[in-house]
Structure 1
Amino acid sequence: MSQHDHAPTARQQSLVRAAARALARANLVHAYGHCSLRLDADRFLVCAAKPMGMIGPHEAGTVVPVNGELPEGVLGEVRIHQHIYRLRPEVGAVIRSMPRDVMTLSSARVTPAPRHGMGSYFSPAVPLWDDPQLIRTDEQAAGVAAKLGAAAAVVMRGNGAVVAAASIEQAVVLNWYLEDAARIELQLRAAGLADGPTLSPDEAARRATGAGRIFERMWEYLCDGDPEFADVI
């Protein structure tokens, strides 16, 4: 089958662009960060290699093999996406982000505990990749993917986060939830309330729901005003 037969659809391209810009509008990325959407078992679509908020309509992403060398021009840390897609066939999207409060906590080797509803999606804990170096080798990328395990997110010490989800819409929303959990954690610690309660695994499992258009409503909120809003809602 030819490369053309595997080409992403117009909607898939729009989804990746809209996700990139939504993350930028929410201050979850800046000059650095990238997002991808699984196309099939063998390849995925990653956003253009530029600041995500500057990705314009109709600016195509790049198709990357799940196994194999990164195509020319693709950012080195996209290796993380490759290794997560290899390990977790249920994952449909991966986002590498740089959330401010997540970054602050991680610099002290702390990740947000499940203390409120939006933190429940990361119960029982957000794993920490305890290395501040950029991920530029397959060995490092495999380590990050292994540390993520079956979790929704992994935080890298002083170096942002990686979120994996069934869809790119959910991945964007979970990035927002992760930063909100970090905000709560940081504020409680600043107020001397770090010993306060966390959600039990049972409480978190019941709260971490997808019912009631939970993900869809936040996705719509984060995409509001996007130039391709009509194509992705």
Structure 2
Amino acid sequence: MSPKPDLERTVRLAARALSRHGLVHAYGHCSARLDEAHFLVCAPRPMGLIEPGEAGTVVAIDAPLPEGVLGEVRIHQQIYRARPEVGGVARFMSPKAMSLAATGRVPQPRHAFGAYVAGTALWEDAQLVRDDDRARGVAATMGAAPAILLRGNGVVTAGATLEEAVVLAWYLEEACRVELDVLAAGLVDEPPTYTLETAATRATKAGLIFERMWEFLTAGDPESGVTRAGKNAA
């Protein structure tokens, strides 16, 4: 299967955007669904170093990983298998999310960006997720949540498109920053938080919310200005 050039480009844009904004370093990967049985994952390199035109790898959802694909891409497989509405997955290691996950906490929906990642899950096992059983466990623990913190081992977001998953990564890091600030101030039980119901209402996609953030995150990329949020579906 050969992915469409626009989808290949979106995966590269997403990878470099995550790196440009400090959400990944040497480790991480992102992917976009091709169809009900396949997805495209970025090249197995530091995401910020992926070159324009560099090809990713097509991965089958219900088959062993192809040679050369990073082991934790199993997480992507299991999320796509469990959630047919998901069109994109990002696996990253942003600083504030890593710090918060190390405490065994998840961000509470305390402000506007936090509303978009309300219900973020926590995976307690600090081991690398390089076998199918652990990957299934991550997906099951995540359930329908927009994100999951892997304690000591990074973060995963899932969205209707890869662009959405990348925007959610930025929102999650901001929510974790706020949560750490609240903890540092000793006010964790004081500030009001959104309920899940009010968070769902606040987390609107109207007004080009995701499109504008995607444009911001990809600004300056050598392949930017070509795709727009919501346009990567096969």
State whether TM-score is above 0.5.
yes
Any idea what the Cα deviations from partners look like across 1:21-52, whole Å, max 9, x if unmatched?
00001111110000000000010000000000
Contact 2:117 2:171 in 1 (8 A): no
Once the two structures are TM-superposed, the CA of residue 99 in structure 1 deviates from its matched residue by: 1.0
Query: Structure 1 residue 144 and structure 2 residue 138: aligned?
Result: yes
* Preserved CA contact (<8 Å) 1:128 1:155: yes
Aligned partner of 1:59 in structure 2 is 54
User: Is the Cα contact below 8 Å between 1:32 and 1:51 reproduced in 2?
Assistant: yes
Looking at structure 1, the residues matched to 87 and 200 of structure 2 have their Cα atoms a distance apart, in angstroms, of 21
Q: What is the alpha-carbon distance in structure 2 between the residues aligned to residue 200 and residue 79 of structure 1?
A: 32
2:180 to 182, 186, 190: 186
Aligned length: 227
CA distance in 2, matches of 1:51, 1:202: 38
- Specify every segment of 5 or more residues in structure 1 that has no aligned partner in the other structure, as ranges: 1-5
Offset at 1:180? Answer: 0.2
SS at match of 1:188: helix
RMSD: 0.8
Counterpart residue identity of residue 46, structure 1:
V
1:163 is matched with 157
The answer to whether the Cα contact below 8 Å between 2:159 and 2:165 also exists between their aligned partners in 1 is yes
Counterpart check, 1:210 vs 2:177: no
1:176 aligns with 2:170: yes
Confirm or deny that 1:120 pairs with 2:142. no
Partner-residue secondary structure (3-state), 2:45: coil
Cα distance in structure 1, aligned partners of 2:139 and 2:124 = 13
Structure 2: gaps (5+ residues)? 229-234
For residues 7 and 52 of structure 1, the distance between their equivalents in structure 2, rounded to whole angstroms, comes to: 21
- In 2: Cα distance, 1:223 partner to 1:180 partner: 18
Q: Which amino acid aligns with 2:168?
A: L
Tell me if the contact between 1:16 and 1:47 (Cα under 8 Å) persists in the aligned partners.
yes
For normalisation by structure 1, the TM-score amounts to 0.96
Give percent identity, aligned residues only: 58
1:3 is aligned to none
SS in 1 for 2:136: helix
Give the CA deviation at 1:103: 0.5
Amino acid of the structure 2 residue aligned with 1:98: M
